[in-house]
Chain A
């Protein structure tokens, strides 16, 4: 509400938005500038998450603080040694332990097993540190005595973690290349396994696109929808009900009907806070959070009561009819399903709605300045309710989509924390459908990769949450990124897409 009164003082004309179209060069730079901050934010978040991985890794911390070394006499530099096993690869059947062999122009002594250079220290070197030292004992060094050890351990930890992340998300490049070569040679059997990770990433990105769009659409209309989680649940409940209770319809009718049920159910659920905000001024943040918990309790009750699968004890719904399943596009084990294209279509639809229709114009006007919108004759109530209906509907579609495309029934522990992720997605995508799709692809990739990281490098998947939180912070406060990388401030762009402060009343 303060905005109007301070408008004249705050925006001198030369700093305000230029009405004329900026010259071409500025436009290009502007585009890059828009991309620069998100990219730097992601990079910084990755670096900081890496730091977090390191400082919570006992091995790395030890390598930086207490490095045990056995004092070895005589000490031979492991760089000059080669293990018997490896030497035999170069010179089959010709070497025994004690020989000296030539490998790549260097003379190396063959030993049973190469000593770990990080575990030993030469007596002279140790005596330089501790003059009264005898041989055969173990001494402890700190980081500055042998910095390369600590750095190497740290580097290895990071490489293992992020390597597994990449491999789990995109796939092993060598394997993909080999599979493609085999396919060109006429053997397509390797393709599914090689491309499995990347299709999994797309599968994971599908609900992200939808919930991201949900929150972004709310942002554009000046509303904070923190309730995507609850709407996802409600969308799952209503759609699964249509999915299992109706039998015998053809797919062409049943599937859209089921998805529509998810949209409408969650849409109505989401519209309630919009209506309350418009009519009573109750803040939608609190109401959507409250409705999340109501949705959890409701689904708990429904799934362990009226909607429970007959003959079972677990709180899950009956399986939906096959005619309500989104078709899978590739043979098993690839789970990639038509829902991905549905999500992309939704993104296109939201783009069209927001930027090429009167409805979208009204939504954005209400979001930018409710008072001006009301003055121009637009109904605040209608637009808030509509925005929250669409927002909830998109989140509900994500729930319906997950049931219809992946699991085929509704479990009690349903969502994977979409409520909070969706906010990160909308922010990272700057509340623009294209940006949201890109952000969702990134997050989907990260989530799939993180699963692999957990199994391969024992890094819990929760690292993704930490990464996302930092992305949010950096996107929301680009000043931090600018300060870190010594960037100059862009003109009048920051935070443009967020709901305006004071839109509450």
Chain B
């Protein structure tokens, strides 16, 4: 329904205009918030080499004159905003949005680093690390929701996987055993969600909530009873950072993307694979058909239930990988409630990224960036309470969901059980 009427939808025109206005507002904000408080002649030194020893080619630091850079980025944002209102960018709108968001972030960094130096690579690295679980959660959401099953249990799946990876990784002494067991548990929880929502047609929000509560309860229970008293059960070790030959020598990209651990590589590969599968293979077509119009898909001979089972179980495994990353990819230890809402932020990234793999990855990076930044605000002596930075991802999501800017249309059959006839 909604797809057919999109072309003449007056609200789409309004949204496009709102996006343009947002770009202009960002331009004005850069001037008002940052440029106003910067002094003329100040420079910001951006260090583009990691602080540690790496294989990457060293490149010289970039010294930005603060005021001219800020005005340039503000001006560009305004120009793009005007262009957006006048003629629109069509398919490129998402890229332009990312660009303007990047301007905002970069001018923030330039302003924060005025009169001293800032290691950009360090910030990018942390951003990627923080974005990784969110990206995996969002990717899990892509798999589930594209087939029409809302998965708000991602949080619980991640939490369970975090525990199992820590526990089984420690007990077996092999990290891969931890990964494997976690994937199995993720698949089991996915199967539970699938059975409840496909076979029993229980409301998916309720099932998801139940799985979340179950995961919170069970992980806290085992953690309190065993891991807390027996540290040997909770020290699995961490996947080491491995450089990719050649690629890790790239300046900028090398240290950030190609000198991390194997789970990050796995995620990046998975991202591309899911994108290709979703948009260029029969499986992807079926998935999207089931998510948009299950009855039509059924009429064409697609087994709706099977598609949903497969996707939700796969989604559970991807979410589990996110949980594994939290433990084996970063701090090698399980803590109670350590996911701290990352599964839900993943859902936000999913909506922000319009239910596409790359879009949601981009959104995860933005959320990872705000997360990185709110931790550093104090160090940078920025007079904004870090809590407001922490609110940003959620506020952005609500704004996007409300359709003020951009357009977030869920798959038409999202969350609706399908009854065979």
Interface residues of A (CB under 8 A from B): 2, 6, 9-10, 52, 56, 224, 226, 276, 280-283, 285-287, 289-291, 293-294, 297-298, 300-301, 305, 417, 420-421, 423-424, 427, 458-460, 462-470, 472-473, 476-477, 479-480, 495, 498-499, 501-502, 504
**Interface of chain A, helix or strand or loop or mixed?**
helix
Contact A300 B387 (CB under 8 A): yes
Asked if A282 meets B203 with Cβ closer than 8 Å, knowing A56-B222, A293-B391, A420-B213, the reply is no
B416 engages A2 (CB within 8 Å): yes
Q: Which residues of B contact A499 (CB under 8 A)?
A: 203
- In the docked arrangement, what's the CA distance between A282 and B421, Å? 30
Task: Please state if B347 and A297 are interface contacts (CB–CB under 8 Å).
Answer: no
* Cα–Cα distance between A495 and B344 once the two chains are bound (Å): 26
Contact at A287–B341, with CB atoms within 8 Å?
no
Q: Would A463 and B217 count as touching, CB distance under 8 A?
A: yes
Instruction: Tell yes or no: B225 within 8 A of A by CB.
Output: yes
Give every chain B residue within 8 A of A477 (Cβ-Cβ): 196, 200, 202
Of A224, A293, A298, A421, which contacts B205 at CB under 8 A?
A224
CA distance A501 to B398 in the complex (A): 22
Contacts A420-B209, A468-B217 known; A293 to B341 CB distance under 8 Å?
yes
Further contacts, 8 of them, CB under 8 A, given A56-B225, A286-B397, A305-B385: A226-B209, A282-B398, A300-B387, A462-B218, A466-B221, A468-B213, A469-B210, A473-B210
Which of B152, B225, B351 has most A Cβ within 10 Å? B225
Q: Is the CB of A293 within 8 A of B206?
A: no
Interface contact A298-B217, CB-CB below 8 Å: no
Q: Using Cβ atoms and an 8 Å threshold, which residues of chain A touch B410?
A: 283
Q: Does B276 contact A (CB under 8 A)?
A: no
Given contact pairs A297-B390, A476-B196, A476-B207, A282 touches B416 in the complex (Cβ within 8 A): no
Which A residues are in CB contact (< 8 Å) with B212? 420
**Beyond A294-B394, A476-B202, A501-B415, is A460–B221 a contact (Cβ under 8 Å)?**
yes
Please state if A293 and B220 are interface contacts (CB–CB under 8 Å): no
**B398 to A276, Cβ gap below 8 A?**
yes
Q: Is the CB of B196 within 8 A of A473?
A: yes
Q: Which residues of A contact B388 (CB under 8 A)?
A: 297, 301
A462 lies within 8 A of B214 (CB): no
A52 with B218: CB separation less than 8 A: yes
A504 to chain B: closest residue by CB:
B415
In whole Å, how far is A188's beta carbon from the nearest beta carbon of chain B?
Answer: 39
The CA of A130 and the CA of B207, in the complex, are separated in Å by 51
Q: Given A280-B402, A286-B347, A293-B391, verify A476-B210 contact (CB < 8 Å).
A: yes
**Cβ distance B148 to chain A, nearest Cβ, rounded Å:** 11
| Residue in B206, B207, B344, B395 whose CB lies within 8 Å of A289 | B344
Q: Chain A nearest CB: distance from B39 CB in Å? A: 28
Instruction: Answer yes or no: B348 CB below 8 A from chain A CBs.
Output: yes
Give the nearest-CB partner of B401 in chain A: A282
Instruction: Give the shortest distance, in Å, between A24 (CB) and chain B (any CB).
Output: 32
Point out the residues of chain B lying under 8 angstroms from A282, CB to CB: 398, 401-403
Contact of A465 with B415 in the complex, beta carbons under 8 Å = no
| B413 to A, closest residue via Cβ | A2
Contacts of B415 on A, CB cut-off 8 Å?
501, 504
A-B contact pairs, 8 of them (CB 8 A): A276-B401, A280-B404, A417-B216, A420-B212, A460-B225, A469-B211, A472-B210, A476-B203
Q: Tell me if B329 is interfacial: C-beta within 8 Å of chain A.
A: no
Whether, in the assembled complex, B417 has its beta carbon less than 8 Å from a beta carbon of chain A, the answer is yes
Closest residue of chain A to B343, judged by CB?
A: A289
B269 at the interface (CB under 8 A from A): no
Residue pair B221, A56 in contact (C-beta under 8 Å): yes
CB < 8 Å neighbour of B348 from A2, A286, A300:
A286
Asked if residues A423 and B206 are in contact (CB atoms below 8 Å), the reply is: yes
Question: Which residues of chain A come closer than 8 Å to B62, judged between CB atoms?
Answer: none
Question: Which A-B residue pairs are the 4 nearest by beta carbons?
Answer: A465-B217, A469-B214, A301-B387, A460-B224
A424 touching B217 by the CB < 8 A rule?
A: no
Instruction: Take A290-B394, A469-B214, A504-B415 as given contacts and tell me if A427 and B206 are in contact as well, using a CB distance cutoff of 8 Å.
Output: yes
Q: Is the pair A501, B416 in contact by a Cβ cutoff of 8 Å? A: yes
Instruction: Say how far B234's CB is from chain A's closest CB, in angstroms.
Output: 15
B318 vs chain A, min Cβ distance (A) = 20
- B312 CB to closest chain A CB (Å) equals 16
Task: Give the docked Cα–Cα distance between A460 and B226 (Å).
Answer: 10
In the complex, what residue of chain A is closest to B341 when comparing beta carbons? Answer: A293
CB distance from B170 to the nearest CB of A (A): 16
Kindly state the separation between the CA atoms of A462 and B341 in the bound complex, as whole angstroms: 18
Given contacts A287-B401, A293-B394, A300-B387, contact A462 B217 (CB under 8 A): yes
Chain B residues lying within 8 Å of A286, measured Cβ to Cβ, are 347-348, 351, 397, 401
Cross-chain contact of A301 among B211, B385, B397 (Cβ < 8 A): B385
A420 to B209, CA, bound (A): 7
Contact B224 A462 (CB under 8 A): yes
Interchain CA distance A218-B358 in the complex, whole Å? 35
Expressed in whole angstroms, the Cα–Cα distance for A466 and B220 within the complex equals 10
Cβ-defined contact, A290 with B397, below 8 A: yes
Residues in B neighbouring A52, C-beta threshold 8 A: 218, 221
CA distance A294 to B394 in the complex (A): 7
**Restricting to B175-220, which residues have a CB under 8 Å from any CB of A?**
196, 200, 202-203, 205-207, 209-214, 216-218, 220
| CB-based contact B394/A470 at 8 Å | no
Contact (Cβ within 8 A) A495 B394: no
In the assembly, what is the distance between CA of A391 and CA of B404, in Å?
Answer: 26
B351 contacts A466, CB within 8 Å?
no
Nearest B residue to A468 by beta-carbon distance? B213
**Contact pick for A463, options B206, B221, B390, B398, CB 8 Å:** B221
CB-nearest residue of chain B to A280? B402
B402–A469 contact, CB under 8 A? no
How far is it, in angstroms, between the C-alpha of A495 and the C-alpha of B419 when the chains are bound?
15
Residues B196 and A501 in contact, CB atoms below 8 Å apart: no
Known contacts: A56-B222, A56-B225, A298-B387. The answer to whether A287 contacts B207 by CB under 8 A is no
Interface string of B395-413 (1 = CB under 8 A from A): 1011001111000001000
A464 to B207, CA, bound (A): 17
